[in-house]
Amino acid sequence: MTAPKNLVLDTNTVMALWHFRDPALHALDDAIHTGDLILYSRDDALEEYRRVLAYMQFGISPDRQAELLDAYRSRVIEAPPPTAAPLLLPACRDRDDQKFLEIARDAGVSHLLTRDKLLLKLARHRILRDRFAILTPERFIADVLA
């Protein structure tokens, strides 16, 4: 890979990378740490991550939650605000995921990484397919990082 790729990660991907430490995503983690990949986010996505970290089923201590959130926050660049006439986006059936499409559009990223079926379904949408790719992290690793 020559120039860094710009990405948006949805919350589940962030959790898989840094809380669950999914071994299938090791190459993605390495590429982020070496600066080959640049991550974009915004406040509402970071707030969602903070809320998910606090879910009781994960059993993450408050100190560890703060550590994970701070570490992720330090890895991302704030997406710019939308332009005066932003590209209209298709509506994701899960309204909570619409923000990830907006961040990808506003930051001009090459890829949105997710395992979410509703977001992945939008990958073929005519408005999006020429702007940025929506891929699973595993497919990104196989197709882009390999």
List, run by run, the mean pLDDT of 10-residue segments along the chain (146 residues): 83 98 97 96 98 98 98 96 81 93 95 97 89 96 94
Rounded Cα distance between 60 and 135, Å, is 28
Q: How many CB atoms lie within 10 A of CB 12?
A: 18
Count Cβ atoms within 10 A of the Cβ of residue 103 and give its class: 0-12 exposed, 13-18 middle, 19 or more buried: buried
Q: Give the Cα-Cα-Cα angle 133, 138, 139 (nearest 5 degrees).
A: 40
What pLDDT is recorded for position 1? 47
Residue positions counted in the chain: 146
Query: What pLDDT, on the 0 to 100 scale, is given for residue 2?
Result: 59
What is d(CA 131, CA 22) in angstroms, rounded to the nearest whole number?
Answer: 28
Annotate 61-99 with b (16+ C-beta within 10 A) or e (fewer).
eeeebeebbeebeebbeebeeeeeeeeebeebeeeebbb
Q: In the chain, what are the helix, strand and coil shares in percent, each to the nearest 5?
A: 55, 15, 30
